[in-house]
Amino acid sequence: MTRSYWLAGAAACLLLTPAMAERATRAERVQAEMAGKVVKAKFTESARTAARSFALARNKRGLRQALAEERGALPPFMAPGVIQINLFDSGREAFFVLTETLPKRSLVQFFILPPDQEQEWALEALEADEDLPPGFSFFLPGLKTLGDFWQSGLTTYLVIVQTPDGRESASLTDFAAKGYFRDIVDVDYMIPGINWWRQFWSGSGHWLEINGRFLPGEKTYVVFEDIIVPPDAIVQPQGSRDAILIDLTRVPNFDVTLMKGYLLTVGQDRWTDTAPFRFTPLRR
């Protein structure tokens, strides 16, 4: 395929500076008001058991590519949403963003698994009081309030969703805390994982290439803040483990005429990774 493209910089996406952030106004999160839409609920015993079993089975460093016994401890299905944590924000803002409609009376249950693998913290359980649409954001509890009380290591945030038919699904992400930094081994196991991106025009499409570590042939979610990329706008070259392409002109509500900042999230096989992203309008 012949394509002419303008490079928007092979930005090191994890190094977004404050100066850059100020030049790109953060996109507004549209559906983030939970009042009247969810109610407090009780944790299910099956969710508590899954969180506890995963915490006990996983490697102490919290590597993502879990062993068979660890993966088996979790619900086998990918939750209809992704976890977003902005670790570049001092308040540690965090969300669970729906990528599909969540039926009324579904339960969304939040857990934190600290690095010591001795415990799991059941934070909050909420029940949907109505059908909730794709793009709806749950504010994740715990990250802002725990402040400096984190343990050093890779901490896992786990969301378990149970729909009214009893089906359970999971979404997870992990993050380094209290002076811990990933080494090359940790990074190899961080799948999906975002390295960098570039923008370009091809034909009538304004494309974004996300480079990193991905699973070929797996169901993939891509989310900009609370804008959900439809499946037909996501292209993963056959067999590719290092690139995902997004046709931004086919993403509803994504404005390709304005520079904006977003939390960019990729989800595969229940795991998610998030990086700050600045979209820049390009000339053809």
Read off the pLDDT of residues 169-214 as tens digits, 9 standing for 90 and up.
Answer: 999 998 877 777 888 887 888 899 999 999 999 887 899 999 999 9
Q: What does the pLDDT read at residue 146?
A: 57
Q: Give residue 32's pLDDT band: very low, low, confident or very high (50, 70, 90).
A: low
Q: What does the pLDDT read at residue 115?
A: 79
The predicted-structure confidence for 231-270, as pLDDT tens digits, reads as follows 999 999 888 899 999 999 999 999 999 999 999 999 999 9
Across 19-32, average pLDDT: 60
The domains of the chain, with CATH numbers, are 11-30+191-279 (2.60.40.10), 38-187 (2.60.40.3880)
Distance, in Å, from the CA atom of 198 to the CA atom of 141, rounded to the nearest integer, reads 33
Tell me the sheet residues that pair with 200: 207
CA atoms within 13 A on the CB side of 271: 21
Residue type, 65: Q
The predicted-structure confidence for 39-78, as pLDDT tens digits, reads as follows 999 999 999 999 998 888 765 444 555 555 566 778 999 9
Burial (Cβ within 10 Å: 0-12, 13-18, ≥19) of residue 249? middle
CB 134 within 8 A of CB 178: no
CB 248 within 8 A of CB 204: no
pTM score of the predicted model: 0.85
pLDDT at 110 over 90: yes
Q: What does the pLDDT read at residue 183?
A: 84
